[in-house]
Each structure stands twice: as structure tokens, then as C-alpha cells.
Chain A
Amino acid sequence: MGTKPTGRTPTIPNNLTTEVSDFKQLQERIVKLMLGPVADEVAAEAASPSAPATGAVAVEVRDLKAGILTDITFTLRFGEVLGVAALEGQGQQELFECLAGVRRSESGQIVVGGKTRTFRHPADAIRTGLVLIPADRLQALLRQRSVRENIALPLVNRISRWGPINTRREKRRVEKAVKRLQIDTRVQSEVRRLSGGNQQKVGIARWLVGGFQTLLCFDPTRGIDIGTKRQIYGLIKELAAGGSAVLLFTSELPEIQLACNRVIVLFGGRLVDEMPAAEADEKALLRAAHGLPAEADAEQQA
């Protein structure tokens, strides 16, 4: 992989520093060099504008309370990517865990498909179509098992499905998912031998194979290379366009506007703001995530 460090500080020619004075420009250039011709395609897809969706309600959360989380009420519709913006530890973890059945809420309701649901186990949530992609991808993957087994695993969650595996059909479905996500591997490899980006793709591929209605992405691109990151966002938008609902939390605020139709902001466990993606630039999100009123409101008050 390239040259070894020689131990001396590289000298930067003067003309280069002037050429790349604009940091944003430099970033784009590096990305393009890393990705090659795919870069423009993915970038265009990621940057396409997203209007608020008007699909049917996928998940309705009413007065949810769990840990720091208090009185959270919002709806998530099919066909939209709903962003969750928050600083570290403002209740987003609790929100996702409740929706995914990892944690039980203290009060409030989660309504899916017109029915109030109680999730005792992640399997319950998976059965109703709510699936979680965690930030720590190894939390949900078996690192010692093969890609194939990891993708097939969530299909186990009903005892009635404990019967023999139709190996051929399963193989076809797994290979299709691997191809779609461009997972760079053989399906027999152990998951721990994959790169982080590929591991996360396996985490997503399993739900594509298993089927879902609502994708709960908790910081799905943490620590992932930029090419894979764009691919994942491209896929999230594609899934939403295909009729799925996506709830997306990311610790990188600028990414929210790229991927979402609508954004809710959490602060201190409460839902403090909701805005369409068009307004959700980094500045607005940062103000809201710090519990400050939007700029226009602040001016009015002054």
C-alpha cells in the first residue's frame, strides 16, 4: 500500500498550498481521487434535494419516556428519511433502543401499523418490521461467523421458521444483497476479517434479505471511509424512495441535510425542534441541538 514513512517531514511546495487553500475543495479532490469515476455519481445522488414525504404513517411515537428521554412525540412516514439531530447523550440512544426492542420504555406508546406495540425483545421489533443498524457494527454481527450466516441470522427469529434452510434460495438472496451493496468479499469470509465499511454493509444487507419496513440507523457511518459512507447514504435514500421509512441519527450534522427529508432535534431528552431538510443546515441544527431558539425567532425576541 504505497510508500513507507521515511521519518522526515515532507516538504510542501509553495504552489500547492495556494492551490488548495480552500479546504472544502481539497476535501472534494481527495474524495474524487480515492473513489475514481464513481465519485460524481454518488455525490450527485447524495446531494439531490428531498421534499417532505406524505406517505402513510410507519411509526408513531407518543409521549415516550425512557431514561433521560421525556415526552417524545413524533411520526415517521413511509417514504421519508427522518433525521435525528442531537449532541452526544441527549436521549437519542434511548430512543433508538426503545424502538428496536433492546430497551423497554417507562411510559408512552409506540404505534406501528395502527397497533400499540410492546417490544420485549429485539425479535418483537424485527417482526413488526423495525430493524436497527447500530453505530458499533459488531454489536449486532457475529464476528467469528461468515458473511452468509450473519446475513441469514435475523431470519431465525420465529420458531416456526426453525425448519431446514432452503440453501439454494438463501444463497441466491445473500449473493444478491452482497452484490447490491458491493460488499468486497466472499460470502464465506468471517465478518471480523472485513473492513469496517464492509462490516456495516453486511449489517445492512441482512435486513435487505430479511425484509423490513422501518430502518433505524443509529450513526451508521461512524468511523467509515468516505466512499462507503456515500454509498450507505445513497442506499438509505434509495430505500426511502422505494417506500421504506428511515429514522437516521448521525453524529455528523452536515450529513443530515444530505440524507433527510425532515429533521427532529433532541436536547436534554426532549424534542425541541422539527424542521424540513431545506432549513436544516449545520448552523440551524447546531443552534437547535444546543437548545437555543432558531435565529429568526431570536432576532424577533431581540
Chain B
Amino acid sequence: MASTAVAEAPRPAGFRFGRAARRYGWTVAVYALLALLMVITIAIKPDYGSFEWNTLTLAALPLAFAAVAQTIVVLSGGIDLSVGPLMALANVLALRAMLGHDLNYSLVVALIVLLEVTLAGALNGAIIVVTRVPDIVITLATSFIWAGLALLVLAKPTPGIPLDFQNLAQGSTFSPWVPNALLVLLVIPLVWIPLRRSRAGLAIYAVGSDRNAAFRSGVNLGWSRLLAYAVCGFFAACGGLALSMTTGVGTPLAGTYYTLSGVSAIVLGGVSLAGGRGGMLGPVAAAYILSLIPAVLIYLGIDPNYGQMIQGVLIVIVVMIGGLGVVLRRA
């Protein structure tokens, strides 16, 4: 507080730009990285066409939802290790109920599954708020519960999601370059933008930024955190249904991959794990980047299992660059 008596320094000319760069710089950089990767991909595989693009959007769809689900909880200052199992639960519930039915029936089932898994997410939040046990412990525990439940619903991977329902994501209704899998992503802004602009969204950011200050400002911490977990559950359900659409299979063990890949995507997407900072655009782009890397390796003829390693290296590099930025700003 030594500087309180000192008048504010005059603003440099580039102030407006500087602030915008600070605010959106990371997101822009993530999209630039995605564009660069796309350019590299096309350079490696000159006949990259709408089919490959379609495959990428399909692969990225569940991951994008997993990342968005995780983002909301992390913004509120928590972490949800049960995102993957929640997705698996939604996936197998959908398969069990949809098996052998038509599109309209499947859509009703999808709505019910959304509701159920949203409630499961809310339950995560309620347990955390009531018991005051750290988020990571509770969601680790509930991740086993949801995973076990998924196995009870469906013991082994089973195909049978109605084709019409699959086509909601798999086709390209409008143009081969605008696959439906890209359009399904519109669910995210449809839910997120109104939430972000409501007082509840403000409360989620506030709780994640500084819990004590939010409390003293009269924010209801419990309800805000519960809401974040419920919305996380909703997006996890979207992710599970996306898995159903893109694979056509109910897979009780599909979840494991998505929990931590979702965390990778949000770190890459510029969401602070400390809470309160970040948005939705970055994590979605990061989900595309993480899905593109294995594809590039296949085009290069390299074992795609290296993809996991490259993901890891990429995250370390990205986090280092982020840290470097912070250090430079302080200097």
C-alpha cells in the first residue's frame, strides 16, 4: 500500500490495446495455434478435405463439452474429477433407453438424460457445499460412484444408438464444410452467454476470484458453487450424448480419458486453475488442438500413441509461456 498516496501515472498511448491484449491475448493465441496446426496439417496432407475436417469436429465434440463442463467449475474455484464418469453415465443411460427406438423418442430420452446428469452434477456440488470437504476429494470419490453406476447400467460397450440420433452430429446438413458436429457446439453459447450475463454468472466468477471478498459482498457462496456444479453436470451430459452421437456406442468406461483431457484443454485454453479467470472460447479451441494432434501424427505415419506425449509436452510449454508472460508483466 506504499503507493496509495502517489497519483496515477499517465496512461501510455497503447493502453486500450494493451488491456485488450491482456484480456483476450491468450484466447487469440490459442486460436492462432489452432490455425497454425491446421496449416501444418494441410501442408502435410494436401488432399485434406471436408471428410477429414468432419472427422476432426466429431473427435473434438465430446472433448469440447468436457472442457466446457470443467471450465465452469474451475471458474467458481473448484475442480470436478467426475466429469468423465458423468459423461459415461449419460452415454450409457442414453443407449439403454434409446435402443431400438426412433428419433423423437430418442430426443425425449436425451432431454431426460440431460436432466438426470445435471442433477448428478448438482449432487456433487451439494455434497461439497454441505460437508466442506475439498472439491478434489469429493469429486474423486463421486467419480468412482458415477463410474460404478455407469457399469451397472451397461456392463460392456454396446452399439445401438438410433442412426437418426447419430446423424444429428454426424451429418453435414448445410454444407460439407459446416458439419453438424460444429453446429451442436452452439449449445455452449446458448447456455453460457445468458449465464455469464446474469447475476448468477457474476457470482460464479466472484466466488472463484476471491471467496472471502465474495462472502463479504453478500454473495451466497453455497448456491453459487452448487450452480456451477449443476451446469458442469449439464455440459457433461451434453458430452456424454455427444459421445453417443459420434460413436453410436454406449461405453461405460469412456469417461476416464475425458476428465483429465478436459483439464488439459482448459489449461491450454487459458482458464486459471486458481479460479475466477478465463472464458469458454479458449477451452473449445484447445479441445480442437488436442484432437488434431493425433490426426496429424497419423498423417505423418507416426504411432498416434505419441499424441499423448505431445499433448503433455504442449501443455508444459504453454504453461511455461504463460508463466513467462506473467513474469515479464511484473518486471
Contacts and interface: CB of A to CB of B under 8 A. Distances in A.
B6, B210, B223, B276 pick with most chain A CB within 10 angstroms = B210
Interface in A86-117: 100, 102
Contacts of A197: 4
B198 interface: yes
Contacts of A162: 198-200, 203
A142 B5 contact: no
Nearest to A197: B4
Interface in A210-241: 223-225
A277 interface: no
Interface string B185-212: 0000000001001111011011001101
B276 A164 contact: no
A123 B194 contact: no
A153 B214 contact: yes
B216 interface: yes
Contacts of A154: 217-218
A126 B213 CA distance: 14
Contacts of B96: none
A164 B191 CA distance: 12
Nearest to B219: A156
B220 A167 contact: no
Contact of B216 (A134, A143, A145, A159): A134
A150 B74 CA distance: 20
Nearest to B276: A144
B215 interface: yes
Contact of A123 (B198, B205, B218): B218
A153 B215 CA distance: 10
Contacts of B199: 152, 155-156, 161-163, 165
Contacts of A38: none
Interface centre among B19, B198, B199 (most CB of A within 10 A): B199
Interface string B70-105: 000000000000000000000000000000000000
Contacts of A196: 1, 3-4
12 contacts: A122-B217, A123-B218, A123-B220, A140-B216, A140-B217, A143-B210, A149-B202, A149-B206, A156-B202, A156-B220, A165-B198, A196-B3
Interface of B: 1, 3-9, 19, 194, 197-200, 202-203, 205-206, 209-210, 212-220, 223, 276-277
Interface of A: 1, 100, 102, 121-123, 125-127, 132, 134, 138-145, 149, 152-157, 159, 161-165, 167, 184, 188-189, 194-198, 206, 223-225
